[in-house]
Structure 1
Amino acid sequence: MDILIVEDDLPLANVLKKVLEKNGFNVNIASDGEEAFNEILEKNYNLYLLDINLPKLNGHKLLKLIKHKDENAIVTMITASAEIEDIEKAYSYGCSEYIKKPFHAKELLIRINNLINKNEINDEIIVDNIKFVKSTMDLFIDNKPVELRKKEKRLLYILLDNLDKTVTKEKIIEFVWEGEKKDSYPLRQLVSTLKAKLSNHNIVSVVGIGYKFVKV
């Protein structure tokens, strides 16, 4: 599991990194909001540990960015702030946990493992003979792995995450192309290649609006 620690107190960040790596996690550190912003755009992490008071871009703004990119991302705020407004804002933006400094490393591990266990319950989406693992974006049909390219994975993710609901073309493009600016997006072609790998069922076009994934 990949974890991003966003913390400008580097001695603390390094201690947390060491503890987490000893417990089997892959950990990267960003020391300010701008560095974290670039990391979030370039890579999907399984879990984020965010300080609120960061140089260049604060934790609340980073939290909104993460949840906008992946509304199912697990985000834990770690901060010295005890202001109720900060806590309310963090939860309203979608954080999963809020830990006040100072805290014991063992407490952090307990909370992280608890969040992971809760998340794993909802990690697999099974529809008909299709199984999709959200955390890894792996697809299985009849229990056999199906190879997908990155954009196919992201397209399938957003459709399955909104099962039986129409997802607009605009929302799909924003998620699949991750904010990449282009003159045109080959969405129809991408849908076609993904449908072929799914034996041409489940994905339905909603004329003039977008697409949805349905049970057969």
Structure 2
Amino acid sequence: MPNSASAGRLLLLEDDRLFGETLVDFLEGEGYEVAHFLAARPAIEEIYENDGYDLYLLDVNVPDLNGFELLKQLRNSGDKTPAIYITSARDKEALAEGFHSGADDYMKKPIDLDELLLRIEAQLRRTKKPDKVAVGEYTFDMEKLVLYKGDEPEKLPRKLAELLGLLLRNRGDVVSTEEILHEIYGDENPGTGVLRVYINKLKQLFGKESIRNIRGVGYCFEA
């Protein structure tokens, strides 16, 4: 069923005109406003002039400027708008570069349009997070990254609190291991062993069934 007209404003960077028009037709049919650009320079100029976009859909190999470099420029300028890469690049190096440049998600062509819609909706939900989230007998302050049991704050290491915040922002959705490590550690990747330790600590707090491990993919907070 199509979304309402206020579903969101998307900027699409795709130099394949036919494929881009297909995406525009589909997304507009779902209630989104879509601005389609065939080259990077006009797209980034539009973003700097009009900052009202809710999400970016970016190809990588486009005229004027590499899609990775475009997003790096935006992130360096303080732009935190969610971004999804849609690209034919399939190697792990390209995947890593995509996340390191500041991407929130990554889809390999050919894409399934219904899956794209789900990923867009998931990203937009993340930007509409509440100030505080209740989890059983606990309350987590999403802004201050402080966990309370009743009125008493629990002592959590900073990285553990950041992990909890990330999982709660995506409650019910799977967050990839790569995204978690990049979001929390940036380029200082400590490996998955440290992440497993933190996940186990959260399970000790909220119950072993609170977080589901999707082997080879990531984690989903379900409590």
**TM-score (norm. length: structure 2):** 0.53
Letter paired with 1:50 = L
Cα deviation for residue 91 of structure 1 reads 0.6
Aligned length, in residue pairs: 124
Secondary structure of the structure 2 residue equivalent to 1:106: helix
Name the counterpart of 2:15: 8
In 1, the alpha carbon distance for the partners of 2:79 and 2:44 equals 16
Name the counterpart of 2:193: none
Deviation sequence 1:152-177 (CA, Å, 0-9, x none): xxxxxxxxxxxxxxxxxxxxxxxxxx
1:1-216, aligned counterparts within 5 Å?
1-44=8-51, 45-121=53-129
Deviation sequence 1:9-55 (CA, Å, 0-9, x none): 01111111111111111110110112212112211111000001011
Secondary structure of the structure 1 residue equivalent to 2:43: helix
Matched-pair contact (CA < 8 Å) for 2:68–2:97? yes
In 2, the alpha carbon distance for the partners of 1:4 and 1:49 equals 6
Secondary structure of the structure 2 residue equivalent to 1:26: strand
33-42 vs 22-31, which deviates more? 33-42
Secondary structure of the structure 1 residue equivalent to 2:31: coil
Letter paired with 2:67 = G
Matched-pair contact (CA < 8 Å) for 2:69–2:101? no
Cα deviation for residue 92 of structure 1 reads 1.1
Matched-pair contact (CA < 8 Å) for 2:54–2:124? no
Cα deviation for residue 106 of structure 1 reads 0.7
Percent of pairs with identical residues = 32
Name the counterpart of 2:205: none
Aligned CA distance change for structure 1 residues 18 and 87 (closer, same or farther; 3 Å) = same
Letter paired with 2:96 = E
Secondary structure of the structure 1 residue equivalent to 2:84: strand
Unaligned runs of 5+ in 1: 126-216
Unaligned runs of 5+ in 2: 1-7, 133-223
Runs of 4+ with deviation above 6 angstroms: none
In 1, the alpha carbon distance for the partners of 2:33 and 2:76 equals 23
Matched-pair contact (CA < 8 Å) for 2:14–2:59? yes
55-64 vs 67-76, which deviates more? 67-76
In 1, the alpha carbon distance for the partners of 2:77 and 2:30 equals 27
Letter paired with 1:91 = F
